[in-house]
């Protein structure tokens, strides 16, 4: 990287290089080790411990928490519901987000920047605030109910409900789907669509054979960015679902802070299995979608 000065031995220089690398790496690497890796290891430790009667933890190690997880429908159902909500949110975001990203790409440059900016603002805005906005709209005396009454319908209990949770999740995550898709589409060479048409493919066929396969990286990135936070969240389901929608995140929150008494070992096991399941799903998704066209 640098030119060796004649009076410097390569060894001394090598040592200096190593020192420099160590100084660059150390602060961040140590921080991540102590406050990211170590915490995960400790969660693992907790998951094998025994819950005490007052919410404390007794350091007797066994597989009880994992056995409880497998044995009770409550936990299996929470996994199932959370993954299902995650899939629904991801698919709807993709169905709405892909055409939107395409529309942005096809717009005139000036208009395109504005459209992009309009997606960036919610992207950077507090999730809590955006969820809260839906509480206002859907509330019992809120706008939608006013509208329903104006049209001659009866008032509906719009939230808390599973539907409200889904709307809130789509609303919160849509920008995370649109941006990677846009990034992918902006890199796409539209001459390829002309080439495809030139060779006799109609628009629909050109889309499925050319544009979609070549923008799969954006689809994968967007889906992962939407799916993971959706499956793990508890704010939206707590605020818009109330006690009616019990997802994994809500369960975890209760096990650690509220249930009487808290059960940290079980919560730790639940979190670890959750992380494991999610990782497996994401890896399978990556493999199947990127295998043929690397």
Partner 1 sequence: MIDVPVPASRPPSDTRSTIGRRLLGLNAWLTYIFLYAPIVILVLFSFTTDTFGVRWTGFTLDWYVRLARDTRMINATINTLWVALVATIISTVCGTLLALAMERYRFRGRNGMDALLYLPIVIPEIVMALALLAFFSFAFGLLESLTGIKLRMNIWTVIISHVAFCISFVVVVVRASLKGFDMRLEEAGADLGADPQTIFWRITLPLIMPGVIGGALLAFTLSLDDFIISFFTVGPGTNLLPVEVYGRVKRAITPSINAISTIMLLVSMTLVFLSQFVQRQRD
Partner 2 sequence: MTNASAVVLQQVTKRFQNVTAVDAIDLDIRDGEFFSMLGPSGCGKTTTLRMIAGFEFPSSGVISLAGAQVEKIPAHLRNVNTVFQSYALFPHMTVAENIAFGLEMKNVPRADIKPRVDAALAMVQLSNYGTRRPKQLSGGQQQRVALARALVNRPKVLLLDEPLGALDLKLRKEMQIELKRLQQEVGITFIYVTHDQEEALTMSDRIAVMNQGKLLQVGSPTEIYERPSSRFVADFIGEANFIDGHVIDIGAPYCTVRASNGLELQGILQGATTVGAAVTIAIRPEKLRLTVQSPDNVSTLAAKVEQVVYIGSDTRLTVRLSDTITLDVWEQNNRSTLDRDAYWQRGEQGFVTWNPDNALILTA
Q: Give the residues lining the site for partner 2 (CB under 8 A).
A: 189, 191-192, 194-202, 205-206, 209-210, 213-214, 292-293
Instruction: Report in angstroms how near the CB of residue 224 gets to partner 2 at its nearest.
Output: 21
Three-state secondary-structure class, residue 58: strand
- Measured from the CB of residue 286, what is the shortest distance to partner 2 in angstroms? 16
Q: Which does 1 bind (CB under 5 to 8 A by kind): partner 2, partner 1, none?
A: partner 1
28 binds partner 1 (CB under 8 A): yes
- Is 4 one of the binding residues for partner 1 (CB under 8 A)? no
Residue 254 binds which entry of partner 1, partner 2, none, with Cβ cut-offs from 5 to 8 Å by kind? none
Q: Is 188 in the site for partner 1 (CB under 8 A)?
A: yes
Contact in structure between 134 and 235 (CB atoms under 8 Å)? no
**Which C-beta is closer to partner 2: that of 67 or that of 195?**
195
Cα 61 to Cα 66, 84, 275, 277, distances in angstroms:
12, 33, 21, 23
156 close to 143: Cβ distance less than 8 angstroms: no
- Which residues from 215-254 bind partner 1, rule CB under 8 A? 221, 224, 228-229, 231-235, 238-239, 249, 252-253
Instruction: Give CA–CA dist 206/197, Å, rounded.
Output: 7
Of 31, 35, 41, 37, nearest to 272 by C-alpha is 41
Tokens representing 117?
């900016």
Terminal CA-CA length for the chain: 32
- 159 in contact with partner 1 (CB under 8 A): no
Stretch that binds partner 1, among 21-29, 64-72, 147-155, 208-216 (CB under 8 A): 21-29
Tell me whether residue 109 or residue 200 sits nearer to partner 2 (CB atom).
200
Q: Looking at the DSSP assignment, which residues form a beta bridge with residue 281? A: none
Question: Which CB sits closer to partner 1, 74 or 143?
Answer: 143
Q: How far apart are CA 48 and CA 93, in angstroms?
A: 38
Task: Name the binder of 196 from partner 2, partner 1, none, CB < 5-8 A by kind.
Answer: partner 2
- The nearest distance, CB 70 to partner 1, in angstroms, is 19
**Binding-site member from 12, 19, 38, 58 for partner 1 (CB under 8 A):** 38
Q: Compute φ and ψ for 21, nearest 5 degrees.
A: -60, -45
Task: Please give the C-alpha separations between residue 82 and each of 76, 168, 235, in angstroms, as whole numbers.
Answer: 10, 14, 13
Q: Print the binding letters for residues 104-143 with partner 1: x by CB under 8 A, - otherwise.
A: xxx--x--x--xxxxxxxxxxxxxxxx-xxxxxx-x-xxx
Task: Quote the tokens at residue 55.
Answer: 């919410």
CA–chain centroid gap for 252, Å, is 17
* CA–CA distance, 108 with 49 (Å, rounded to integer): 60
Q: Which does 214 bind (CB under 5 to 8 A by kind): partner 2, partner 1, none?
A: partner 2
Length of the chain in terms of residues written: 294
CB of 76 to partner 1, least distance (A): 18
> Which partner from the list partner 2, partner 1, none does 281 bind, CB cut-off 5 to 8 Å by kind?
none
Judged by CB under 8 A, the residue of 15, 155, 187, 258 near partner 1 is 187
């Amino acid at each position: 990287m640098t030119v060796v000065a004649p009076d410097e031995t390569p060894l001394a220089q090598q040592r200096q290089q190593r020192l420099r690398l160590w100084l660059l790496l150390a602060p961040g690497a140590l921080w991540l080790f102590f406050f990211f890796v170590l915490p995960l290891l400790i969660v693992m430790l907790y998951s094998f411990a025994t819950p005490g009667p007052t919410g404390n933890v007794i350091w007797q190690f066994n597989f009880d928490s994992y056995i409880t997880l497998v044995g009770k429908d409550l936990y299996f159902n929470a996994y199932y519901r959370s993954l299902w909500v995650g899939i629904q949110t991801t698919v709807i975001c993709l169905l709405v987000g892909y055409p939107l990203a395409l529309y942005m790409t096809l717009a005139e440059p000036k208009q395109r920047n504005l459209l992009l900016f309009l997606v960036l603002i919610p992207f950077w805005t507090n999730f809590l605030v955006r969820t809260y906005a839906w509480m206002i709209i859907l509330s019992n005396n809120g706008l939608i109910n006013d509208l329903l009454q104006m049209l001659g319908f009866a008032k509906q209990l719009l939230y808390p409900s599973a539907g409200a949770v889904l709307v809130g999740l789509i609303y919160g995550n849509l920008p995370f789907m649109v941006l990677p898709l846009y990034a992918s589409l902006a890199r796409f060479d539209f001459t390829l669509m002309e080439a495809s048409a030139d060779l006799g493919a109609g628009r629909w066929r050109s889309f499925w054979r050319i544009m979609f396969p070549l923008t799969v990286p954006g689809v994968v990135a967007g889906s992962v960015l939407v799916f993971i936070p959706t499956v793990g969240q508890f704010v939206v389901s707590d605020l818009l679902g109330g006690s009616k929608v019990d997802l994994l995140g809500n369960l975890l929150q209760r096990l650690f802070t509220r249930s009487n008494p808290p059960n940290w070992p079980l919560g730790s096991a639940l979190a670890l299995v959750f992380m494991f399941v999610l990782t497996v799903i994401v890896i399978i998704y990556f493999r199947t979608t990127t295998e043929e066209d690397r």
